[in-house]
Structure formats: C-alpha cells, structure tokens
Structure 1
Amino acid sequence: MTTPHRTGRRPLLALPALALLGASPARAQPAGGTPLRLVVPFPAGTTPDTLARLYGAAITGPLAQPVVVDNRAGGGGMIAAEYAARAAADGNTLFVGGNGPIAINKHITDRMPFDPDRDFRPVAFLGISMQVLVVRPGLATDLAGFLAAAREREVNYGSVGAGSASHMFMAGLVNQAGLKGQHIPYRGAPQALLEIAAGRVDVMVAAIGSALPLIREGKVVALAVTGPARDPLLPEVPSFEEAGVPGFVLPVWNALFAQRAVPDAAVERIAAAVAEARRDEAVRRGVVAAGFTIEARDPAGMAAFIARESDRWGEIARATGVRLTD
C-alpha cells in the first residue's frame, strides 16, 4: 500500500496547545543537547500526537533533554515505524506505536518493511482507551437499529487508516454481524469524524477522546463502547456486550518503543522519566482529557499485553480476510 505522507518536525514549544494540556512554560522549556525524537504515525492534532506532546513536555526536565515530535503520517503507520526502526539505536529516536503498526499490520500484509517483534522493544505506555461506535445523525439511535439498517443496505464505514484498530474493528463487526459494509480510510480520526458529522460517511469506531466533542455537540450519535462495561466519559452509552453483541472488548493504546538494539540503561532512563510524568497531576488530567487512562506496566508486562492483543487482532484478520494492498 502506498500512501503519500507529510513530514512535520516541530519542537514542543511551538505548540500553544500545550498550555491547554497543563504543561507549564518552565517544564516545557527544553534543555540543551541532542533532542529525543518521538515519531508519531498520525498528523498533528490527533490523539497519539496529543499524548506524545503531553508526555514529551513532561519528560524534558527529568531527562535534561529537549523533545521533538516528528509526525510521519500514512501507510497505516508503517512509514513512521520504518523510519523509527531504521534510526540509530542510540535511544534518541522513539516510535509512538499503537495497535496498527505493532499488533495488526503483520497479520494483514506480507510486505512489512520492519518486524515489530524483532525491531522494537517496549519502553512505556502512554495511555489506553476504549473505542466508541458512532453514526451519522438520522441513521440509528441504538446498536440494534444500526445493525438492522446495515443488513438492509450497504453502509460505508470510516477509519483512521487501512490496517488500523478502527478499520479492523469495523471489519470484524461487519463480518460477525452479517452486515454490508464498504471501508473508507482517512488519515486520522478528526477527518473521518467530520465526514460522519457531515453525513457523507455512515459509521466508524474511534477512540472515545477523539469522538467525544462531536458526541456532546450532537453532531454524531454514540451507540456502543468497546469496553467490558460503560465508560465514565460516556455513562449513557452501553457496552457492545450490554447491547447484545459480545466479543468486542478491544482497546486502543499508544506506547513508546525503542529499537531492539537500544541499551537497557537508555530504555530504563526513559521509562523512569515517563513513570515520573504519570505522577504529575497535569499529565494525568491531560491523558483523561484525551479520553485515555493511565496504564503503568513494566516492559515485560507491556510485551505480554501486546502479544495477547496481537493474537486477538490476528483472529479478526483471519476471519475477515482483510489484506493491505500495495
């Protein structure tokens, strides 16, 4: 699959939005030296980008090192992942990875330009979130109504990119529920959600934080969340299981990954800085504002969690037959 991308490398201080996330000017001020580069596979303004900038501002002080966010969108996250995998293994380039490039893509293409298991090692979780199924106004008011409508006629469903968690979740739902669906990939949740609000796309599943503003404004309709129970941010919205569709407890997550060859000491140094950032009230508020929860696991615990997630996404890939094409 070939997708054009834009590269944006901006120091954290260039983002006025940091003040909204609770980062004080003193803490955001970078120290001297070689910058730590956080490579994000989505454009600026998306949730992974927000989390990267939030944590980046917080770890600058503990690391005594400036932090730069490098947005490399496209290719289902593989453009950014390949760039990070091939960077010098000196601990100064980290990949802000999520479900797609780390746990999903290897199940849906034989042309991976990197190996997520051999090329990367987990460093620290940035956050974990459930997703929410949203539809355009007028299509349905509950999950049963949507399923009935989608069995009668083909619906088009958006995603944050081919091979992403939002793509594979919808492909799994379409397959399991016997729906008629056409996939339309976008370059991030904001663009896809605006298309739903405009009535040009029928449905998508998105991270709760991404969809929440449009849900609250009544521009999209929330039908079900992907967690084991209702989410505190959307207490009025049932889980899929509560709404009668079990088997769809599938979170989205973002984490920092280093190249496999990065020394343990460098990984431990960054992990300790992230752990310190998690205790910062401003960071905690920012993570919640993004619709995520703090997830504190050591690298071994992260690896086990990701392996289980990958197995589940592999099952969905085999059941749906989804493949990435060149």
Structure 2
Amino acid sequence: MSISRRKALTILAAASATAAPARAQTGWPAKPLTIVVPYAAGSATDTLARLMAEQLAPKLGQPVIVDNKGGGNGSIAGTFVAKAPPDGYTLMIATAATHAGNPNLMKSLPYDSLADFAPAGFYGFIQFVLLVRADAGMDTLPDFIKRAKAKPPLTSGAGTPSARVITATLAERLGTDITYVPYKSAPQALADLLSGQIDMTFADVSIAVPQVKAGKVKALVMASDSRSPLLPEVPTFQEAGLGQFALDAWFVIMAPSKTPPEIVARIDKAVQEVVTDPEVIKRLRGISFEPKRKAPEEVRPFIQSEIEKWGRLSKAAGIEKE
C-alpha cells in the first residue's frame, strides 16, 4: 500500500523524535567527566568527591576528574558550573553552604541555587563539631562557656558558611561575642587552630576525628540533633543545654540547568548505585559521612526548605549579607 509523501515525512519525523533521547543516552558519555569541588583539596567535600569520582567512573564508562575551585564561599565553583555547557560533562558537588547558605550570606550571588542547576544525585550528610586546642584550658563545655564570656572575645575560624552560621548561633545563645575569622577551607582553619592563631572552629567530623584521636584538639559539642558514632561522648547542642539546633552539611551532584533529562537521570542512577553499595557505605561511614537517598523530585523542595532554614538562622544570629 502506498502512502503520501507528506505522511511519510510525518512518520519519519516522529521516529526521529522518539529515537533522539535514546541516541543522547547511549552516546553519552563519550569523553571524561569533571566534578568541580567548591573547596580546597583535603576538605570533606574534596574527599567525598574523589571517592564518588572513583566509584562513578566504571559505572559511566569514562574517567571522572576532580577539579578544585575554592574561594568565594563556594560561589566561584557554583558560577563556573552554572555557566558550563549543559552537556553532562561538567558537574558540581553542591553543598548546604553553596546552595542554601550563600543565598542568605551574599548580597550578589552570581547563580540561582535552584534555577541554574539540575539535581543529579543526592547522596548524604556530614556533621560539624566544636573544636578547641587540647592545651587551651577548655577541656569541657562549661570551661569553654566560661572563657567565651570573658574578655577578650574568642576568635573562631570559619572555613565554610556553615561554620560561620553555627558560630554566630552559638555566640547568640551564649549572649557573648565571638570574633569571626574567614578561611577558604575548613582544613586551613583547623591548621591555624592547631598553631594557636585562633581559639576555636567548627569543623566537619571527618577532618576533626584524626586530630581528636591524636590528642591535639578537644571536641566539645555537636552542631547536630544526634551524636556522631565516631565521637559518641560529645553531646549535641540540645543535650548541652544550648537549645535545639542542627545544621548538618549535605551533598548533591549538580549539573547545569538545561542538561538533557535523560543524562541527569543516568547520573542520578549511577550515584544511587554508589551510595547503596555495602562496601561504599562502609567506607563513607568510616569518615563519618552518612549516605542517604533522595529521589530526584525530592531534592528541589529540600533545598528550598534549607534556604529558608538558613535565612531564619542567619537572621536570628544577626548575620547581614556581605
């Protein structure tokens, strides 16, 4: 049976439209991927990114390169990825600080945390802990509070926006001043704590535990609603009488917005295969990272709620945008 030329063209067009996503999915990736890390090498984010890159490479069939672009509270990395070609080859480890904190701490943020990104794999949380030097005479939280209320004010190094907000919240609840000292990364702040340049810092548990075990620092309180399995003796804010408080770091792989949905879905599937692998879970928990699955449709509402949470905390602590 013959068909008209117009009908034939219509059928071919429909077939091409149906096949296009399949070609995009099967043809990608055709070259190495890059995961941009918003903080310096040695940070918890960097450690997690390298582990993720190692695990994603065989699942995606291409090498995955880690590129550290620290500075600007993570906004340098965020801006770079937001403006990258939406082809699935340039990704970012987005964090609570870069995507919930920065909208509340920076007057001029070059990217929109929701509009400029496509969530491509939520994979878990990590906690923060208050650290002081072991020889600082603040062996217990009551010792710390007594010193914090004395003069001169304590100096606190903040290598992430999270550390800054936690410190400001603690100062507000204690009714005292704590001088905020900005750093490009948590490891840099911790290094200056160890050398005596600052009095305290809130660091992620993964970099804190080795120093605690070495006897170089004291861990006094968790900025979370639960204790850390690696520091089970350290109380939470609420247990310490400082009121309910939790500002955990979370991590999600982001692609630029307008990245083809089938590519985003493939990355998300690979990420979830990684964080549900028993051996990977064991490795992640060994650095006090708690893997957690969130479906793609849950991620945007979660980030929106976190932006609002950071706004409330920043306002209560008297932090103005800079």
Q: TM-score, normalised by structure 1?
A: 0.85
Percent sequence identity over matched residues?
35
Alignment of 1:66-85 (within 5 A): 66-85=63-82
Partner of 1:188: 185
Q: Which residue identity lines up with residue 150 of structure 1 in the other structure?
A: A
| Shift in alpha-carbon separation, 1:254–1:32, aligned structure 2, 3 A | closer
Which residue of the partner structure matches residue 289 of structure 1?
286
Give the one of 200, 203, 208 matched to 2:200: 203
The answer to whether the 8 A contact 2:183-2:189 is kept is: yes
Alpha-carbon shift at residue 97 of structure 1 (Å): 0.9
Indicate if the aligned counterparts of 2:141 and 2:220 stay in contact, CA closer than 8 A. yes
The Cα of 1:324 is off from its aligned counterpart by 4.8
- How far apart, CA to CA, are the structure 2 residues paired with 1:109 and 1:159? 15
Q: Confirm or deny that 1:177 pairs with 2:162.
A: no
Contact 2:166 2:223 in 1 (8 A): no
CA distance in 2, matches of 1:46, 1:250: 18
What CA distance in whole angstroms lies between the structure 1 residues aligned with 2:29 and 2:206?
34
2:154 corresponding residue in structure 1: 155
Deviation of 1:98 (Å): 0.6
SS in 1 for 2:216: coil
State how far apart, in whole Å, the 2-side matches of 1:159 and 1:286 are: 27
Cα 1:32–1:244, aligned 2, differ >3 Å: closer, same or farther? closer
Match of 2:236 in 1: 239
Q: What displacement does 1:318 show?
A: 1.6
1:40-68 deviation line (CA, Å, top 9, x unaligned): 01111211111111111111111112211
Name the counterpart of 2:311: 314
Partner of 1:214: 211
- Amino acid aligned to 1:40: V
Partner of 1:111: 108
1:140 maps to which residue? 138
The CA deviation at 1:82 is: 0.1
> What does the per-residue CA deviation read over 1:187-219, in whole Å, with 9 as the maximum and x for residues that have no partner?
222221122122221111111111110011111
Larger Rg: 2
1:253-288 Cα distance to aligned partner (Å, 9 max, x none): 121111221121111100111111123334223312
Any idea what SS the aligned residue of 1:140 has? coil
* Alignment coverage as a number of residue pairs: 293
State the AA in 1 paired with 2:298: G
Maintained 8 Å contact 1:130/1:226: yes
On the 8 A contact 2:120/2:296 being kept in 1, the answer is yes
Distance 1:32 1:88, change over 3 A: closer
Contact 2:274 2:280 in 1 (8 A): yes
Runs of 5+ in structure 1 lacking a partner? Answer: 1-30
- CA distance in structure 2 between the partners assigned to 1:94 and 1:121 by the alignment: 10
* 1-structure distance, mates of 2:208, 2:81: 29
Paired residue type of 1:142: T
Alignment-derived partner of residue 19 in structure 1: none
1:278 has 2:275 as partner: yes
Code of the aligned partner of 1:151: K
